[in-house]
Chain A
Amino acid sequence: MIEAENLTRYYGPTRAVYNINFHVDKGEIVGFLGPNGAGKTTTMRMLTGFLPPSDGTARVAGFDVFYDSLEVRRRVGYMPETVPLYPEMTVWAYLDYMAALRQLPDRGQVVDRALEACSIGDHADTAIGKLSKGYRQRVGLAQAILHEPEVLILDEPTIGLDPRQVTEVRALIREIGREHTVILSSHILPEVSQTCGRVLIINKGEIVAEGTPDELTAQLQGAERVLVRIADASPEAIEVLERVDGVIGVESVDGEAYQVSCIREHDLRAELARAVVEQDWGLLELRSVGMSLEDIFLELTTEETEESEDA
């Protein structure tokens, strides 16, 4: 459904996106994850035909975003980051305008359906300028799904919403994602790991990792981690734990808990338990903690920073 080849974009001399390659299949929900300024918005703008790529190509539904821009725009629904809307228009008038620009037949019906899907029917006659942030976000989403697009591109869809609204919007996106291809961007991890089937981690304009949330966790896990909680631990606890065969490092988490990193694919829980009990300490807790997507993300994005600083 979406293919990007060597997609590159410069703003003057600044490189925003460099040599990005990816593809998204029909019906997938893919998340762009990256810190602010990583190039997520620029990539999305190129996919919507708003910005032409400096180099490389992208095809959406088989149409080139540069040469067949209008065809691409007919098939894409887009919600930009800050959801720019006309404050003086009512919700209904605005959606009617967007439907007219897209030359949709039966505009009244189309608008009503979008209002219902985003549950903003009660506010149809309110001026957009008077809506709260959460409602404005939903108007942005309603505008993006008016024409039932094959591809939906959402830039930071849940930013600035309260937790309940976030849950609602995520549910809505999953609902839409059943029939449509969705790309969303975020710098918040839970969002991506909960909503998306696949994640592209973008940093400094390049893709640094790609896969399902589970794959990413497995692939990038350098070490198994075990949390050990000990009652009445003496100061030499770290030493004792480090002496166990296969342990790479021990870190004190708080007073009595220690995070033990072990070499890959070695479950050392039994050995660790024995070591603690041999010292006559009380073993309160022992569990394996996987590396969270958050850790992976931080590791990847900070590594990149260090590398580029060296260069």
Chain B
Amino acid sequence: MRNVWTVARRELYAYFSSPIAYVTMAAFLAVMGLLSWLLIIYSQQAVMGYTLGSPWIFFTLILYAAVVTMRLLAEEQRSGTIELVLTAPVHDWELIVGKYLASLILFLAMVVISLYQPYILARLGNPDLGAAASGYLGFILVGAALLAIGTLTSTLTRNQVVAAILSVAIGVALWLVEFVGSRSPGTFTGDFLTQLGLFAHYFDFLDGIIDTQHIVYYLSLVAASLFLATRVLETRRWR
């Protein structure tokens, strides 16, 4: 367990000693700020859910998660540094979870910075801060799931660009699958696909509803992705 934190700490060090952390954070916060400004101007309402519920922010989040996670394992596999990590007494899962944890911490730091938005809204008007808080919880859960998917795709290849493209593709597919499902509502397949949708479980949070089934959905996505990533790392050795 201590190894998880050791790996995460080194990964954060790597994030901040290269431009990745700064550029991704700045880009995301800039897009989010611009979006909020536009939504406030046009709606004349102090509601956090407009920004957090916008398809623009969904897509930005998918891109962000892909870029932040793409190098996690792909880079170690390309440069061969993974050989030294895996010949140290470290379990494969500790490496995966540690890497994932670093990307999650980076994401949470960014979310904390973006809290200036509800603060400004509170200064301008009288927003429902409870709904804003649960909206943020949902946003963090979606981000956590996307980062786990990115960690998984990064174990699949030694090419960072391929890892990023795969994780964007999976993210967008998980988003769109909801609309495929809604073509045939009431049938098992239709409902199943709707429930599988990444953002189908998100809107309740924006309305201030914290439902366990939604939390379970996101946490299972995280667990399944990290489990698969560990398995992929193990099978690498057999090839």
Binding site for B on A (CB under 8 A): 11-12, 45, 48-52, 70, 73-74, 76, 78, 80, 82, 84-86, 88-89, 93, 97-98, 100-103, 143
Q: Kindly specify which of B86-94, B105-113, B193-201 makes contact with the partner chain.
A: B86-94
Further pairs besides A73-B88, A80-B83: 19, Cβ < 8 Å:
A48-B87, A49-B87, A50-B86, A50-B87, A52-B237, A70-B91, A76-B87, A80-B84, A82-B80, A84-B80, A85-B84, A86-B10, A88-B14, A88-B17, A89-B17, A100-B2, A101-B3, A101-B90, A102-B89
Report if A85-B81 is in contact (Cβ < 8 Å); known contacts: A51-B237, A97-B6: yes
30 A-B pairs in the complex with CB atoms less than 8 angstroms apart = A12-B239, A45-B83, A48-B87, A50-B237, A51-B237, A52-B237, A52-B238, A70-B89, A73-B87, A73-B88, A78-B84, A78-B87, A80-B84, A84-B80, A84-B84, A85-B81, A86-B79, A88-B13, A88-B14, A89-B10, A89-B14, A97-B6, A100-B2, A100-B6, A101-B7, A101-B89, A101-B90, A102-B89, A103-B89, A143-B84
Collect the chain B residues with CB atoms within 8 Å of residue A101's CB: 3, 6-7, 85, 88-90
How far apart sit A100 and B8, CA to CA, in the bound complex (Å)?
A: 12
Collect the chain B residues with CB atoms within 8 Å of residue A80's CB: 80, 83-84
**Size bracket, chain B contacts:** 20 to 34
Q: Which residue of B lies closest to A100 (CB)?
A: B6
A86 touches B3 (CB 8 A): no
- Which residues from 189 to 239 on chain B have a C-beta closer than 8 Å to any C-beta of chain A? 237-239
How far apart sit A51 and B87, CA to CA, in the bound complex (Å)?
A: 10
How far apart sit A45 and B85, CA to CA, in the bound complex (Å)?
A: 13
Interface SS of B by simple majority: helix
Number of residue pairs A-B, CB distance < 8 angstroms: 65
Binding site for A on B (CB under 8 A): 2-3, 6-7, 10, 13-14, 17-18, 79-91, 237-239
Name A74's contact: one of B13, B89, B237 (CB within 8 Å): B89
B13 touches A89 (CB 8 A): yes
Name B79's contact: one of A12, A76, A84 (CB within 8 Å): A84
